[in-house]
Structure 1
Amino acid sequence: MVRQSQGFLSQIYAFTDFICVQLIFLFSWWLKFKSGWIPYDNPLPLHNYALWSLIYGGIAIFLSYSFNFYTPKRRKKFSYELFTIIQVYTISLLILLSFLFIFKELDISRSFLLLFLVNNILAISFYRYILKTSLKRLRQKGYNKQFVLILGAGSIGKRFYRNLLKHPELGYEVVGFLDDFHDCHEAGFENYKPILGRVDELEAILETTLIDEVIIALPLDAHHKFGKIINTCEKAGVKTLIIPDYFDYLPSKPYFDNFAGIPLINVRDIPLDEFRNRFFKRAFDIVFSLAAILITLPLLILIAIGVKITSPGPIIFKQERVGLNRRNFMMYKFRSMRVQTEQSSDTQWTTENDPRKTKFGTFLRKTSLDELPQFFNVLFGHMSVVGPRPERPYFVEQFKEEIPKYMVKHHIRPGITGWAQSNGLRGDTSIEDRIKYDIFYIENWSFLFDIKIIWKTIINGFVNKNAY
C-alpha cells in the first residue's frame, strides 16, 4: 500500500513537472518574442517551438526518473534537489540540441533555448522549495507522520530516539520499543517511549499497530534474529532499516557497494567517486581556471615583474606536494622568499616574521596573490579550484602518524581554497581542525558546496591574518 501511494505520488510529481515545463515554454516565448524587452529577428511559428518543448519535457521526465528524482527524500536537504534539478534540465537541453542538430533545425533560436533553460530551473526549483517547505510545516504540526518502531532499547536504540526528537521537521514519530533485556522501569527510561514487548512479538505488534518503518538497533550478538525480523516486516509491507552496532566507525553517509556478488559497506563514501560528479567538477575546474588566468593575466605579468626586480632568482617557485591518491606533483607559486636550499624549503614552516621572505613576497603572501599560478596546476589536472590544501611529503609522513584520518584528504584532488581555508584555518592553525573540515567537505561534496566555498573565499577576502 505504501509503495503504491509513493508510486502514485511520483506520477503526480512527473505530471506536474511536465505541465510546468510547458507553461514556462509559453512564458519564455512571450518574454523573448512578444514582450518587446528582448530584441529578436523573425521567429519560426509558435507550433515549431511547441513540438520541441514537448520533446524537452519528455526528456526531462525520463532523466528525472533515471536520477531517482521522484523517490521520496524527506531526509535530504533542498540543496540536493536543487543540484539534481540543474543537472537534469541542463543535460536535457544538451540532448535536445543534439536532436536539433540531427534533424537540421537550425532556425530554432539558441538564445530562446538558453532563456527557456534558466526559467525552467528557476521555476521548478521555486515550486519544489515551496512544496518541501509546506510539507515540513505540515509534519511539524503532526500531519503526514511516519510511525517508527525501534527494536532494541539499549544504548543504540535510545541514542537513535534522542536524535530523532531533534528533527521534528522530518515527520517521524516513535511508537515504542521492542526489547528482550530491558524494561520501562529502568532508571531514566521514563524519558522514552514505552517498551511494547519482546522482539519475538514483532509480528503481532505489526498486525495491531500502524507502523511504517522498523529500526533494528540490536547488538551484534543478536544478528541471528535479523533474517526472521526482515521477513516479518516484508510480509507486513513495512520498511526495515538496520543501525549497525559499529556505526561509530562509519562515515556520516555510508555507502553500500557490490563486489564479486557480495554487498560491502564502503567505510568512506566519497561523492566524487561517482563518474558524473568527477566529470562536472573537472569541467568546472577547467572553465574556472581558464577564466581566472585570462582575467588576471595583466596582474600575473605585473607580479612576475615585481618578483624579478625585487629579488634575484626564478619568478616561479616549484615545490613538491602530495595530491590525489598520494601521488606527488610540483605545485607552482610566485616566489616570495629568497632562493634557498631544497632541504630548507621542504622541511621548514613559514613563520610570521620569517627572515627568508622578501618585502614584496610578504605582500604577496598576505594577499594570497602568490598562489595565482596554481590555476595552471588546476588546468593541468594536479589540483582543483576547491579541495583540501596539499602538503609537502615531509610533513605528510609526519602527520599521518600523529593525526587520525589525515590521509583521507588524498582521496580527492587538493584545492587552491577549501572548506577549512574559507573558515580561517590557514597558516599556524590546528591541523586536527583542518582535517575535520576537509573530511566533512569530502563526504558532503556537492557542486553548490563548491560555489559556496568560492563565494565565501571571495567575500571574506584573500587577506588573512594567518597567511604568512
Structure 2
Amino acid sequence: MFSRFQRFYTSIKVAADVVMLTLAFVLAYVTRFEGPIPVVYGLPPLEETLLSLATVLIVFPVTYRQARLYATNRARTHIGEVFEVFKATIMATLIVVALTYFTRERYSRLMLAFFSGYAFVGVSTVRLVLREVLNEVRRRGFNLKSILVIGAGELGQRVIDTVESHKELGFRVVGVLSLRPEKVGQQVLGVPVLGHVKEVDAVLDSRPVDQVIIALPLEDQAAVKPLMEQLALRTVDVKVVPDLYQYVTLYGGLEEFGGLPIISLQGDPMTGWNMVAKRVFDILFSLVAIGVSAPVMLAVAIAVKLTSRGPVLYAQERMGMDGETFHILKFRTMRVDAEVTGAKMASKDDPRRTPIGTFLRKYSLDELPQFFNVLWGDMSLVGPRPERPVFIEEFKRQIPRYHLRHKVKAGITGWAQINGLRGQTSIQKRIEYDLYYIENWSLLMDLKILIRTALGGFLSKNAY
C-alpha cells in the first residue's frame, strides 16, 4: 500500500513540476519579449522557442531526480526542501545554458534568467503546498510508516517521544520489544510492549512493520549482534540509535571519515569556511571601528592620563580560544596598586576605581582598545567574554560545560552581554547564553548582536 502511494505521490510531483516549469517558461517569455524591456533583435522563431521549452522540460525533471527531489524524505524540513530546489534549479539552468550554447547560435540569456527565477519560486511553492497537504493527511492517520522500537528503556522512550512529537512526518510506533521479561504486556508512553527481544521474528511475522529502530543502552550492547544477524535476513529497514548522545555536548553528531561513520561527541563550530568568514568579518569591522572611534579613544586616553598617575592602557591576562591565554587591552579604570593584595573581581562602588573609571565602565568606553585585540587575532568582535585564568579553575569546578565556551574566540560583546548579563550576574546564566550563541552561530547573528550593542546593549545597570 505504501509503495503504491509513494509512486503515485512521486508522479504527482513530476507532473506538478512540469506544469510549473511550463508556466515559468511562458511567464519568462512574456516578461522578456512583451514587457517594457526593449527587444533589439526581434522575437525568436517559434521553432526555437518550442525547442527551448522541450529542453527545459527534459533537463529540469532529470536534474531534480538526480538531486533526489522525487525521493521520499520525511525528515527533510521545509527550508531544506526549498534549498534543495534552489540548488537543483541553478544546476539545471547551467546545463540548459551549456546545451543551448552548443546546439543553437542564439538564445535570450535574460529570458533564461527570468525563467530560472520563476521556476524556483513556482516549484518551491508547489512543493511546500504538497508537503502541507501530505502532512495533514498523515496527521489524520493516513499513509503512516510503522515502527517497531527495540528497547523499552530511556533511549527507547526518547525515540517514541520524538516520533509522537512529529506526527506530520508520517511515522507511528506500533510496538516495543524489551530485554526485560517483566515489561512484556506493559506500555511505554502509551505503546504496548509486544514481547522479548528474542521474539523479534515472531512479532515481524505477525504484523506489518516498515522500520525497526534499535534503541538499547550501552550495558545491553551484547544483545545487538545476534539481533542484527536476525534482522539481516529480512527486508525491513533497520536503524540504530546509539546510546552516546547523552555524552554529546557541543557540535556533536554523526560524521563520516573515508566512508567510516564516526560519532562526534564534541566538535568545533569554527572550522573551514566558517572560520575564514568570521575572521574576515572581524578584520573589516574592527578596522572600521578603530577609524570611527579613534577621536573618542584619543579623548579617553587624555582624560585617563590627566586624572590619575600611571599608564593609560592596562593589559590583563585572559583566557581565549582552546584555553590559550592572551593580554586584553583596556583603558585603565583603577589605581595602579589595585591588586597588590591579589586578584579580585570588580564590584559596584569599587573603591579602587579612578575618578574617571566609573564613567568609562558605565559606558564601556574602557573596552575600545580591544578592537586592536580583534585585529591581531586574539579576540573576535562577538563571542563569550574572556575571564581571567585565576577565576576559571573555580568556575570549571562549579559549572558543568563551562570549558565549552573556549571552543571559540572570546569577544568584545556577546549574546549574554546584550541580554544584561554583565558584572556580578549569574555565571551559570551567562554560560547558558554563551553556549546558545556558539550552537546557533552565524554571521547574521554576529551582525544583530553588534547592532544591538551599538544601540545600547552595553548600557547595563550591571556595568561597573
Q: Scaled by the length of structure 2, what TM-score is found?
A: 0.70
Matched, 1:326 2:323: yes
Matched, 1:463 2:459: yes
Kindly provide the CA deviation profile for residues 26-58 of structure 1, in whole angstroms up to 9, marking residues without a partner as x.
87898799865xxx999899989x99xx99x98
Between 1:193-202 and 1:205-214, the stretch displaced more is 205-214
Change beyond 3 A, Cα 1:305–1:42: farther
| Paired residues for 1:252-271 under 5 Å | 254-257=252-255, 263-271=261-269
Q: 1:306 aligns with which of 282, 292, 299?
A: 299
1-side partners of 2:377 and 2:128: how far apart? Answer: 36
Secondary structure at 1:347 match in 2: coil
Partner of 1:161: 160
Kindly provide the CA deviation profile for residues 406-447 of structure 1, in whole angstroms up to 9, marking residues without a partner as x.
222222223344343344333222222322333344345455
Between 1:20-29 and 1:224-233, the stretch displaced more is 20-29
Change beyond 3 A, Cα 1:8–1:130: closer
How many residues align? The count is: 447
Change beyond 3 A, Cα 1:136–1:341: farther
Between 1:455-464 and 1:21-30, the stretch displaced more is 21-30
Change beyond 3 A, Cα 1:2–1:159: same
Change beyond 3 A, Cα 1:291–1:398: same
2-side partners of 1:373 and 1:90: how far apart? Answer: 48
Change beyond 3 A, Cα 1:65–1:438: farther
Kindly provide the CA deviation profile for residues 324-350 of structure 1, in whole angstroms up to 9, marking residues without a partner as x.
2222233344x1614636956993322
- Whether the 8 Å CA contact 1:324–1:411 is kept in 2: the answer is yes
Partner of 2:228: 230
- Whether the 8 Å CA contact 2:287–2:375 is kept in 1: the answer is no
Partner of 1:353: 349
Change beyond 3 A, Cα 1:185–1:465: same
Kindly provide the CA deviation profile for residues 48-69 of structure 1, in whole angstroms up to 9, marking residues without a partner as x.
9x99xx99x989x989978x88
1-side partners of 2:454 and 2:121: how far apart? Answer: 25
Partner of 2:239: 241
Sequence identity percentage: 34
2-side partners of 1:14 and 1:369: how far apart? Answer: 61
1:352 deviates by 2.6
Secondary structure at 1:194 match in 2: strand
Secondary structure at 1:319 match in 2: strand
Q: 2:404 aligns with which of 385, 408, 427?
A: 408
| Paired residues for 1:407-426 under 5 Å | 407-426=403-422
Amino acid at match of 2:228: I
- Whether the 8 Å CA contact 1:152–1:178 is kept in 2: the answer is yes
Amino acid at match of 2:343: T
Look at both structures and tell me which one has the larger radius of gyration over its CA atoms. 2
Which ranges of structure 1 fall in alignment gaps of 5 or more residues? none
- Whether the 8 Å CA contact 2:316–2:327 is kept in 1: the answer is yes
- Whether the 8 Å CA contact 2:147–2:173 is kept in 1: the answer is yes
Partner of 1:395: 391
Which ranges of structure 2 fall in alignment gaps of 5 or more residues? 103-107
Matched, 1:192 2:190: yes
Between 1:7-16 and 1:189-198, the stretch displaced more is 7-16
Change beyond 3 A, Cα 1:159–1:378: same
Amino acid at match of 2:200: L
Partner of 1:181: 180
1:174 deviates by 1.0
Partner of 1:213: 211
Amino acid at match of 1:150: V
Change beyond 3 A, Cα 1:198–1:401: closer
2-side partners of 1:80 and 1:130: how far apart? Answer: 15
- Whether the 8 Å CA contact 2:146–2:174 is kept in 1: the answer is yes
Amino acid at match of 1:430: S
1:151 deviates by 0.9
Between 1:451-460 and 1:172-181, the stretch displaced more is 451-460
1-side partners of 2:128 and 2:174: how far apart? Answer: 30
- Whether the 8 Å CA contact 1:285–1:379 is kept in 2: the answer is no
- Whether the 8 Å CA contact 2:286–2:374 is kept in 1: the answer is no
Kindly provide the CA deviation profile for residues 228-281 of structure 1, in whole angstroms up to 9, marking residues without a partner as x.
4334445433332333345422347642456799654321144444x2xxx145
2-side partners of 1:32 and 1:226: how far apart? Answer: 63
Change beyond 3 A, Cα 1:404–1:254: same
Q: 2:284 aligns with which of 274, 277, 290?
A: 290
2-side partners of 1:364 and 1:118: how far apart? Answer: 52
Change beyond 3 A, Cα 1:284–1:148: same
Partner of 2:105: none
Amino acid at match of 2:277: A
Secondary structure at 2:173 match in 1: strand
